[in-house]
Chain A
């Protein structure tokens, strides 16, 4: 069964450093998403992406964040200058269509630890 993959599984970085989290969505999916989950808290929406542009972004997704689909398969989340509070599990998701009737498939997540 096709699945969303994410790399790395765990990333440790120092405050102020740039990080890039990578995702490979399911190949025929057109809508891509990033969510994050701070330890012990709820999963929060960051950004959705369709047709090579951001469809929607949350308040969390400030100028320190950016997303890109650099080629036909990868979908990346970049944090320009990490802060301690960026420590979280970051989930990538993809769906075939944008309608709520289409399931969003989640990757296993990247645990980001900022020290």
Chain B
């Protein structure tokens, strides 16, 4: 089956620190990989995605590279801000006969202090 494992939180950082949130996956088939972000009191928003090996997804200073050899999609940001405090979900999707569903990790809470 499909599954996503991501590092336990919370991750607590000071503003301008470097962020890494680890994510590894198992999948039947060739997955697309995603990072979603959930700000307090809000729904899920797509942060970035990558659809094939060695692709790098990026958005708002966040990056993640699709590593097929290590089945990983780690999220990084060079300098976090207080406004980045949120829960981050790694997810994958495998196409099944014309449709696809998302399989999520447990989420990692990021807390950034000034």
Q: Which residues does A use to contact B, with CB under 8 Å?
A: 31, 33, 35, 41-45, 48, 50, 55-56, 91, 98-101, 103-109
**CB closest residue in chain B, given A56:** B101
Q: How far is the CA of A108 from the CA of B39 in the complex (A)?
A: 11
Which of B18-26, B43-51, B61-69, B71-79 forms part of the interface with chain A? Answer: B43-51
| B101 x A44 contact (CB < 8 A) | no
> Please, which residues of chain A bring their CB within 8 A of the CB of B101?
33, 45, 48, 56
Majority secondary structure, A binding face = strand
CB distance from A57 to the nearest CB of B (A): 10
- Give Cα A45–Cα B44 distance, bound, in whole angstroms: 13
**Known contacts A42-B107, A91-B43, A109-B43, A104 near B102 by CB under 8 Å:** yes
Query: Are B100 and A98 in touch, CB under 8 angstroms?
Result: yes
Least Cβ–Cβ distance between B62 and chain A, in angstroms: 16
